[in-house]
Amino acid sequence: MTAKHVADTTTLNNGVKMPWFGLGVWQTPDGEAVEQAIQYALDAGYRHIDTAAIYGNEAGVGNAIKRSGLPREDLFITTKLWNSEQGYDSTLRAFEESLKRLQLDYVDLYLIHWPVKGKYIETWKAFETLYKEGRVKSIGVSNFQVHHLKDILEHGTIVPAVNQVEFHPLLTQTELRAFCKEHGIQLEAWSPLMQGHLDLPVLQELAKHYGKTPAQIVLRWDLQHEVVTIPKSVRQARIVENAGIFDFELSEEDMAKLDSLNQNKRFGADPDNFNF
């Protein structure tokens, strides 16, 4: 891991550069709340924002981008297609609506939010169309297990650039991580902070040892595993704190200690068994 700055990037399988670190905005209310959170993040050097149509805050994200005055090419914006919109034509329509709400000409990364059975292959074909038309810089998936990815590799013509999944020390996704690496798919962590459940004794102990906070220990562990990470906060102090992970390194032994916490525990839904 050579990233030294909050906006440093990894290069995706199509040559596009994606910041290793960004701000998640799930459950951040639209309007002033999301605009403020993004402003705090941009002030702290973040250049990557992760939203989704279902979060209901794409408009606020768009307003924050406009308000920032930053050049569009300096920002990396991800949004996601919601499950009810899957299918070829409906995907193309939903994409236009997201773009309109975001007030953008393109998004940097468009993700299929969940692998809806019987739908995601057609949806992927629409994603390939959007990519070929230059409406999105990269296309990827979210919550895809190995078997879903194999299906896409078999039936699609473009390898997903990214797979965004739940990933943290209680869910280390070893098999999926290896599969993605082998196929050039960048893994990205959602709920990297276990949705705030940071009271594990090992985290407290390592935080003390490195002079960092439990959140910083987990986020640094993501980076050293070469997993893109997008912690969410609405508070300025935490937004700044979460970005303070580029000036220290976890030893191999401490990486292994965190790896050994795995319990295959999910805070979110199981991609093989969801009903939304």
Ligand X SMILES: NC(=O)c1ccc[n+]([C@@H]2O[C@H](COP(=O)([O-])OP(=O)(O)OC[C@H]3O[C@@H](n4cnc5c(N)ncnc54)[C@H](OP(=O)(O)O)[C@@H]3O)[C@@H](O)[C@H]2O)c1
Shortest distance, CB of residue 218 to ligand X, whole angstroms?
Answer: 9
Helix ranges restricted to H, the chain: 32-43, 58-68, 88-102, 120-132, 146-155, 174-182, 201-210, 214-224, 236-242, 252-259
Ramachandran angles phi, psi of 77, nearest 5°: -115, 125
Q: What is the dihedral of CA 41, 45, 46, 47, to 10 degrees?
A: 120
Residue with Cβ nearer ligand X (43 or 133)? 43
| By CB under 6 A, residue 136 contacts ligand X | no
131 binds ligand X (CB under 6 A): no
Residues 198-237 that bind ligand X (CB under 6 A): 198, 213, 215, 230-235
* Residue 195 in the binding site for ligand X (CB under 6 A): yes
In the complex, minimum distance from the CB of residue 221 to ligand X, in angstroms, rounded to a whole number: 13
In angstroms, give the least distance from the CB of 237 to ligand X: 8
* CA gap 157, 125 in Å, rounded: 8
- Residue 198 or 255: which CB sits closer to ligand X? 198
Q: Which lies closer to ligand X via its Cβ, residue 13 or residue 36? A: 36
Residues numbered 82 to 111 that lie near ligand X (CB under 6 A) are none
Q: Are strands 17-19 and 9-11 parallel, antiparallel or unpaired?
A: antiparallel
List, in order, residues 6 or more apart from 111 with CB less than 8 Å away.
52, 78, 79, 80, 81, 139, 140, 141, 142, 162, 164
Choosing from 85, 238, 246, 258, the residue that interacts with ligand X (CB under 6 A) is: 238
Instruction: For the chain, state the CA radius of gyration.
Output: 18
The nearer residue to ligand X, 50 or 254, going by C-beta atoms, is 50
Binding-site size, ligand X (CB under 6 A): 28
Report helix, strand or coil for 49.
strand
* Closest to ligand X by CB, 46 or 190: 190
Asked if residue 149 binds ligand X (CB under 6 A), the reply is no
Distance, in Å, from the CA atom of 169 to the CA atom of 172, rounded to the nearest integer, reads: 6
Q: Is 120 a catalytic residue?
A: no
Of 3, 26, 16, the closest CA to residue 245 belongs to: 3
Question: Given candidates 19, 87, 169, 192, which one binds ligand X under the rule CB under 6 A?
Answer: 192
Torsion of CA 161, 163, 169, 171, to 10 degrees: -150
CB of 169 to ligand X, least distance (A): 11
Among 6, 10, 19, 24, binds ligand X (CB under 6 A): 24
Active-site positions? 55
Q: Which residues bind ligand X (CB under 6 A)?
A: 24-26, 50, 113, 142-143, 164, 190-196, 198, 213, 215, 230-235, 238, 241-242, 268
